[in-house]
Structure 1
Amino acid sequence: MPATDDDASASPAHVRRRPRAALLALLLVAAVMVTGTGRALEVWPFSPRNATVALSSAGISVAPDGTRTPIPPGSDVQFLPGSRVAVASPGAATQPQLDAAQESRDWLAAGTVPGAGTDFEDMAVDALLDVRALTLDDGAVVAGWSPNWRYAWPRDNAFVAVALARTGHVEDALTVVMFLQQVQEADGSFEARYLPDGSGPPDDRGIQTDATGWALWAAATVIAEIESPQDRARAARDLEPLLERSLAHIRDLTDDGTTLPPPSPDYWEVETSKQTLGTSAPLLMALAASPPALDALGDARAAREVATVAESFDAVVHDAFAPGYGRYLGGSSVDTAVAFLLPPFLPVTADEVPRAVLSAWDAAPTRMARPAGGLAPGTSWKRDGISWTPTTSVFALASAGLGDETGAVRWLRWLDDHRTTLGSIPEKVLFDGSPAQLAPLAWSSANVLLTLVLLDEAEAGRG
């Protein structure tokens, strides 16, 4: 959920003018001059309300040679069925385009479409196709195809890997996690984001601690999805460097699960001197998910040891952030990270979730609500009227994990209603319900798929 220079489109030039807007614009310009980074809005406490942000792309097309192209809003192109191959009309398709579309349909058929037979089948197909389009041959998953999003964030890669694995595309998922292993630093840390070719970061945003948690959680979860013990062991061996480096780094940061990690930017991607739940929760997720992966390596002793560290760190996190489970240690501002303490992010049942976590979770949507019906990343996020689909889809996923199917369907329906004309999920939705910024967004698409997988499993359990 980039909140830095990628959010520059929320600058005064794109804001609906209100009384005193000229003064606010001057102050914002002054803030930019002070910081020299163009990141004023992420720290400016008096952002204008009801910002208007242009939609740069309504979808993504993939040519037979693999070339990706963002499709601007208002374009009259069509996709060949079951693909992201764009044509002026189906009758004008060339043979290479027809072949590429068939390859795409074969890929869909090789896995499963969650939500098949429901009102959300169409959204699921589109989300799968968009995730595939944003996943490159080397396993890098770019957040989106507009220039400022055409980078691989470890978090986005992690969620896409899990979504691919849970929809039957395990080999693709492993390729994504292998990309994370390739770019990981020797000490187990990750930069905030990477160039798609894996050659390094595009800027100096620096190390982001939650990324290690996301990468390890994804690796362990993907490994667990492999049915064959032999294949599961082989995947674990292939990912052993990532497993070992990540575990060592997390254990070092938390003193073997006995203390919170130091302050670090998290998914908000802003510098902070405070410890956040957005950093601690992904590390807890990673520790809790790791023992089965270590068992797959044949190291039962290490699996038991890490399970003990996870149990200890679980107590540390809850003791530190209870009772309000705010974004910052000791604070009351709740954000998306409260969902990461719920199933399916942690291997717990709804009955095992502490009552205080459920209270914070239940109250969060009211406090994070935006005019169009979606959610902002947190209660202290700027009041610009914009809903963010990553947060809204995370809440759909956590609702499904808790067994709240009504809540999950409500959030899914909102996401479905605010897709672009080409069927893609945008990053943002304006106060008037218009899709904004860019579409598709990898993280939101993955969350929708994972939510539908859980709803399918609940339905199968009733059968």
Structure 2
Amino acid sequence: MRRFVLAAVASVVVAGWVLVPQLMGNDPLPVLRNDAGWRSGSLLAPTSLGDRLVGPVVEGVWLADGTVPAAGARSRVAAQALRDLHALTLANGAVAAGPDGPWAYAWPRDSAFVAVAFAETGHLADARRVLGFMGRVQLPDGGFEARYRLDGSGPPDGRPRQTDGAGWVLWSLDRVRAASPDRVLSPALRGLRDRAVGFALAQTDGGARLPEASPDYWEVSERRVTLGTAAPLAAGLEGASRTYAAEGDSRRAEHVARAAHRLRALIRTQFGPDYERHGHSGGLDAAVAMLMPPFAETDDVAAERAWARYPVLALRSAGGLAPGVAWKSDGVSWTPETAMVAYSAAASGHPLVAEHWMTWLSHHCTTWGSLPEKVLPDGSPAGPAPLAWTAALVVLTESELASHRSGVAGPLASSVSG
């Protein structure tokens, strides 16, 4: 049996090298954009002398007011990730994806994960503030632009909308609800929820069809719907159903749950059993993690197998993962996709897998302790640092692992049962 497993793994690795295309292979490698002074030199830096002087004290009090979920050597990384998330979040609730340049905008996807990280570490008011910003910039049809200016005045350019944002926001609302003392969604956030539900139902015809083609976390144009767009909508509808049930609104809870069930079945039909980016083409990518806990129940064996294959096929020379097996073969590892695998592993009962990826991430921070967007083939950090999505995923993964170590049901179980 062991010989069979080893042979199967070897064949998958060989297949991965054959499948990975040379997409944009001549592009220069990225560089590390920031240094330890990013807080004072970025667009997010406090403008007054008083704010600059009291900032570190306020941040220390804020951190102490919650919990740092990690244990041992990784506690420093988790604490820095939380500090970075705090620094990337403005008073109005806008979360910058990164400290400068094209990253200094608020993406619904990143904001959704940051809100959950805040809620699950005891910073519930900050979580609600982030989601409140999303409610203010939400479009009339309940969807979202790809990204927003940090002052909430709209998108910075004409790039296409990203449909997955509504799904991530709905998923986030449920997780924040589950972390609340009364386990009910704040009334101030219910309009955001209702509008996003309306958008998700319209996009999928109540779960009867896949959503329209849209860019997803790859940030590239798409002519066909991707798993990274469809899966978050299913997760969001399931989360919304739980929020309605917690309010005693069984009629809407059942209606949304039925739509989510239909959409899940359609995803299995159209994307399974291989679960490649476009169904039966495009190769595996990190979206397979969106079919696992904490985004879905583990009742699809084919999806679990695809999830297990993705890190093997997408492995890069520095030890991290590419966004997908069809990504350009430049050897660069991407931290959000690596952290997404860690998070889904921790939430789905694979703590050793999660520990492996968390250890890798902790060993590839910047010299000042922030998590970068990318890691070069030689192991050095690159891109903006910190990156909000990665920082949030690291905090959430550590939270799941802490629950596993303590033997207490993790946040996912609490959300589903609540």
State which of 23, 40, 57 in structure 2 corresponds to 1:45: 23
Q: Any idea what SS the aligned residue of 2:337 has?
A: helix
Change (3 A) 1:249 1:462: closer
What is the distance in 2 between the residues matched to 1:385 and 1:67? 31
What is the distance in 1 between the residues matched to 2:244 and 2:385? 37
Change (3 A) 1:186 1:95: closer
What is the distance in 1 between the residues matched to 2:203 and 2:22? 31
Q: Any idea what SS the aligned residue of 1:119 has?
A: helix
State which of 283, 307, 315 in structure 1 corresponds to 2:265: 315
Correspondence 1:279 to 2:229: yes
State which of 361, 369, 384 in structure 2 corresponds to 1:438: 384
Q: Is the CA contact 2:331–2:377 (under 8 Å) kept in the aligned structure 1?
A: yes
1:199 aligns to what?
Answer: 153
Post-superposition CA distance 1:370-409 (Å, at most 9, x none): 1111001011111111100010110110110121111111
Q: Is the CA contact 1:224–1:292 (under 8 Å) kept in the aligned structure 2?
A: no
State which of 34, 41, 61 in structure 2 corresponds to 1:57: 34
State which of 235, 238, 254 in structure 1 corresponds to 2:188: 238
Displacement of 1:224 after TM fit?
Answer: 2.0
2:287 aligns to what?
Answer: 337
> Which AA in structure 2 matches 1:53?
P
What is the distance in 2 between the residues matched to 1:170 and 1:294? 20
What is the distance in 1 between the residues matched to 2:348 and 2:81? 23
2:44 aligns to what?
Answer: 68
> Which AA in structure 1 matches 2:278?
Y
1:16 aligns to what?
Answer: none
Q: Any idea what SS the aligned residue of 2:30 has?
A: coil
- Structure-to-structure mapping, 1:103-142, within 5 angstroms: 103-115=58-70, 117-142=71-96
Q: Is the CA contact 2:85–2:391 (under 8 Å) kept in the aligned structure 1?
A: yes
Change (3 A) 1:240 1:148: same
What is the distance in 1 between the residues matched to 2:43 and 2:270? 48
Q: Is the CA contact 1:134–1:145 (under 8 Å) kept in the aligned structure 2?
A: yes
Q: Is the CA contact 2:272–2:279 (under 8 Å) kept in the aligned structure 1?
A: no
Q: Any idea what SS the aligned residue of 2:73 has?
A: coil
Q: Which has the larger radius of gyration?
A: 1
Correspondence 1:261 to 2:205: no
Post-superposition CA distance 1:316-345 (Å, at most 9, x none): 111211110000022150111000000012
Q: Is the CA contact 2:291–2:303 (under 8 Å) kept in the aligned structure 1?
A: yes
Change (3 A) 1:274 1:52: same
1:100 aligns to what?
Answer: 55
* Cα-Cα RMSD: 2.2
2:198 aligns to what?
Answer: 248
Greater RCO, 1 or 2 (C-alpha within 8 Å, sep 6+):
2
What is the distance in 1 between the residues matched to 2:56 and 2:79? 14
**Which blocks of at least 5 consecutive residues in structure 1 are unaligned?**
1-42, 70-83, 85-93
What is the distance in 2 between the residues matched to 1:244 and 1:131? 27
State which of 109, 129, 135 in structure 2 corresponds to 1:155: 109
TM-score (norm 2): 0.88
Correspondence 1:328 to 2:328: no
Q: Is the CA contact 1:277–1:337 (under 8 Å) kept in the aligned structure 2?
A: yes
> Which AA in structure 2 matches 1:128?
L
State which of 145, 169, 180 in structure 2 corresponds to 1:215: 169
Q: Is the CA contact 2:94–2:151 (under 8 Å) kept in the aligned structure 1?
A: yes
The number of aligned residues is: 387
What is the distance in 1 between the residues matched to 2:249 and 2:203? 23
Q: Is the CA contact 1:59–1:439 (under 8 Å) kept in the aligned structure 2?
A: no
Q: Any idea what SS the aligned residue of 1:156 has?
A: helix
> Which AA in structure 1 matches 2:135?
Q
Change (3 A) 1:317 1:60: farther
Displacement of 1:97 after TM fit?
Answer: 5.6
**Which blocks of at least 5 consecutive residues in structure 2 are unaligned?**
1-20, 410-418
> Which AA in structure 2 matches 1:267?
Y
Change (3 A) 1:175 1:409: same
What is the distance in 1 between the residues matched to 2:51 and 2:90? 20
What is the distance in 1 between the residues matched to 2:36 and 2:385? 5
Q: Is the CA contact 1:376–1:388 (under 8 Å) kept in the aligned structure 2?
A: yes
What is the distance in 2 between the residues matched to 1:67 and 1:384? 31
Q: Any idea what SS the aligned residue of 2:407 has?
A: helix
What is the distance in 2 between the residues matched to 1:429 and 1:54? 9
Q: Is the CA contact 1:60–1:68 (under 8 Å) kept in the aligned structure 2?
A: no
TM-score (norm 1): 0.80
* Percent identity of equivalent pairs: 43
What is the distance in 2 between the residues matched to 1:423 and 1:409? 18
Change (3 A) 1:140 1:321: same
> Which AA in structure 2 matches 1:356?
A
State which of 289, 294, 305 in structure 1 corresponds to 2:255: 305
Correspondence 1:168 to 2:122: yes
Q: Is the CA contact 1:60–1:145 (under 8 Å) kept in the aligned structure 2?
A: no
